[in-house]
Amino acid sequence: MSSNVITIPGVQIEARPWVDELHQWLTTVDHKRLGILYILSALLFLVIGGVEAIIIRIQLIHSHNNFVSPQVFNRMFTMHGTTMIFFVAMPFLFGFANYLVPLMIGARDMAFPRLNALSFWLSFLGALLLYFSFLGGGGLYGAGNAPDAGWWAYAPLGARAFSPGHSFDYWTLALLVSGFGSMGTAINIIATVLCLRCPGMTLSRMPLFAWLNLVMAGMVLLVISPLTAAQIMLLVDRYLGGHFFDTQAGGSAVLWMHFFWIFGHPEVYVLVIPAFAFASEIIPVFSRKPIFGYPVMVAATVSIGFVSMSVWAHHMFTVGMNSYANSFFAITTMAVGVPTGIKIFNWIGTMWGGRIQFKTAMLFCIAFLFQFLLAGLTGIMQAAVPFDWQLSLSYFVVAHFHYVIVGGILFAMFGAFYYWYPKMTGRMLSERLGKWHFWLFLIGFHMTFTVMHIPGLLGMPRRIYTYEPGRGWDTLNLIVSIGAFIQAIAILVFVANLIISYFKGAPAGNDPWDAWTLEWSVSSPPPAYNFATVPTVASRRPLWDQKHPEDPDSRYE
């Protein structure tokens, strides 16, 4: 493949001083740089959130442990949850969407580059606000130094009386500010996908990645908004003496739960749909087959988007809703499993009969498939209301949603790293370290989160800072904690791989995986202007058409 970079003969580009380089990065509006900034900030907070998880697991490693105080324990699980959802998962996915969507649809940049930069810095400011609470959270009351009401902050825990000081204000503002950032990015993704496609790239020829991110962006608009509204109400309560969630003045604590979960549950799908997007690009390439059932994949994604908007109250079966509400939310929750199941069958259908290459990226995607299936199955178990009454707020639930977020989303995200890192840096990630990363993380993951179901079934509640000996939880918790350490080691291997490969990795070339979407047609890393000339496509796999002019896909459309 010839390179797509414009070079001007006789012109030498001098290396800029590092201050200039830094200035370029801080003021950039380039979608690729912003994508990388998103991913780097997510990596930073992944490590911070991971340290908090490790602190939680050390505290629970045996009964009556005194590693941290109950107060600190509460802060740790609150910060861990908030960080991982808002400042790790979201930025990771937005980062990849930012970097890849314009490249995949043959565009020069996102639709609104400056809005894009604003969105990134808003969400980063949100993260800084959250962590500033450790310093400034005491406030004039001198009480509290980090939010400790859990990541869903049930009323009245968020009220002034129960969260004095400013720690909780930082939590609210962090979510509000980063929410505005998320909305900006979502608007940008929608406008980019709908308005900047290169000639020939009809909606039915878009890579699934672009389709799924379009659905994700639409969901973000509908999902982040209730959270934003609820945070505004909470601020009114805290600062202006309002009574939205003040039960003593007739307000309702349950209303907060509804508002939070109208955000909270679809948020899971906001996070998992981009993970589906990664799998939908990586699995076909390493199976050497086009994706199986493209239109059905799109339809299933859109229907997940719709159905997932009507399942939120399955988080509230134990609150005491009436039986009609319980039945409705149980049925919708089970229904959302249908389109998800369709997707899993399609990925398997893609792999079926393919010449599968077990590269690290593919290994992560295969693990994603199995683990996400299991996570979905425990989800359906909990959709059964009586079962949920028994296990709600137990470690079974914790195990379930970590199966979704770590076993599903994070595994797919690691797959995306191994697949697109060569495009972003021009260097291959080491396969040897990658295999170490994969197997260590897989073992650690199952030691932690598969085993964690059992103490849940035995009745161990979540969010307790310690427990009595002799309930049969000790050994299980020890195994869970050891698994957490193995995962931490795997993450260190991963970070080491990122750093070492950046300097010493094998040069990637334009198209190391012999892939089919447009981002692989440009150099690695792509030039600032992406495409020297605007590409024109005639099928879903433009690079296949180009490599196989004797048998192009476009012939079969």
Q: φ and ψ at 528, to 5 degrees?
A: -55, -30
Helix (H, G, I), strand (E, B) or coil at 272: helix
Q: Which of 9, 142, 250, 295 binds another protein (CB under 8 A)?
A: 250
Distance of CA 143 to the CA centre of its chain: 33
Q: Is residue 247 at the binding interface for another protein, with CB under 8 A as the rule?
A: no
Distance CA 398, CA 488 (A): 18
* Comparison of 146 and 224: residue with beta carbon closer to another protein: 224
Q: Is residue 319 at the binding interface for another protein, with CB under 8 A as the rule?
A: no
Minimum CB–partner distance for residue 183 and another protein (Å): 5
Distance CA 537, CA 534 (A): 10
Task: Name the one range near another protein by CB under 8 A: 121-129, 315-323, 411-419, 534-542.
Answer: 534-542
Minimum CB–partner distance for residue 342 and another protein (Å): 26
Per the structure block, which two tokens stand in for 186? Answer: 């979502």
Which 92-121 positions form the footprint of another protein (CB under 8 A)? Answer: 111-112
Which 471-530 positions form the footprint of another protein (CB under 8 A)? Answer: 518, 521-522
* Comparison of 244 and 436: residue with beta carbon closer to another protein: 244
Q: φ and ψ at 507, to 5 degrees?
A: -60, 140
Helix (H, G, I), strand (E, B) or coil at 194: helix
Q: Is residue 241 at the binding interface for another protein, with CB under 8 A as the rule?
A: yes
Q: Is residue 310 at the binding interface for another protein, with CB under 8 A as the rule?
A: no
* Comparison of 239 and 352: residue with beta carbon closer to another protein: 239
Evaluated on CA atoms 85, 87, 88, 90, the torsion sign reads positive
* Comparison of 8 and 15: residue with beta carbon closer to another protein: 8
Q: Is residue 533 at the binding interface for another protein, with CB under 8 A as the rule?
A: yes
Distance CA 462, CA 151 (A): 13
* Comparison of 224 and 398: residue with beta carbon closer to another protein: 224
Q: Is residue 262 at the binding interface for another protein, with CB under 8 A as the rule?
A: yes
* Comparison of 251 and 376: residue with beta carbon closer to another protein: 251
Task: Name the one range near another protein by CB under 8 A: 139-147, 249-257, 430-438, 461-469.
Answer: 249-257
* Comparison of 220 and 399: residue with beta carbon closer to another protein: 220
* Comparison of 5 and 348: residue with beta carbon closer to another protein: 5
Per the structure block, which two tokens stand in for 249? Answer: 């003045």
Minimum CB–partner distance for residue 135 and another protein (Å): 30
Contact 280, 209 (CB under 8 A): yes
Q: φ and ψ at 461, to 5 degrees?
A: -75, 155
Q: Is residue 334 at the binding interface for another protein, with CB under 8 A as the rule?
A: no
Per the structure block, which two tokens stand in for 459? Answer: 């009745």
Cα dist. 98→108, 516, 550 in Å? 12, 19, 34
Minimum CB–partner distance for residue 259 and another protein (Å): 6
Contact 280, 365 (CB under 8 A): no
* Size, binding site for another protein by CB under 8 A: 63
| Contact pattern from residue 210 through residue 239 relative to another protein, giving x for each residue in contact according to CB under 8 A and a dash for the rest | -------xx--xx-xxx-xxx-xx--xx--
Rg of the chain, C-alpha, whole Å: 24
Which 174-213 positions form the footprint of another protein (CB under 8 A)? Answer: 183, 186-188, 190-192, 194-197, 199-200
Contacts of 97 (CB under 8 A, 6+ apart): 35, 185, 189, 213, 216, 217, 274
For residue 335, give the DSSP letter.
H
Contact 543, 517 (CB under 8 A): yes
Q: Which of 62, 446, 462, 547 binds another protein (CB under 8 A)?
A: 547
Phi-psi region of 4 (alpha: psi -120 to 50; beta: other; left: phi over 0): alpha
Site residues, another protein (CB under 8 A): 1-4, 111-112, 183, 186-188, 190-192, 194-197, 199-200, 217-218, 221-222, 224-226, 228-230, 232-233, 236-237, 240-244, 249-252, 255, 259, 262, 518, 521-522, 531-538, 542-543, 545-547, 552, 554
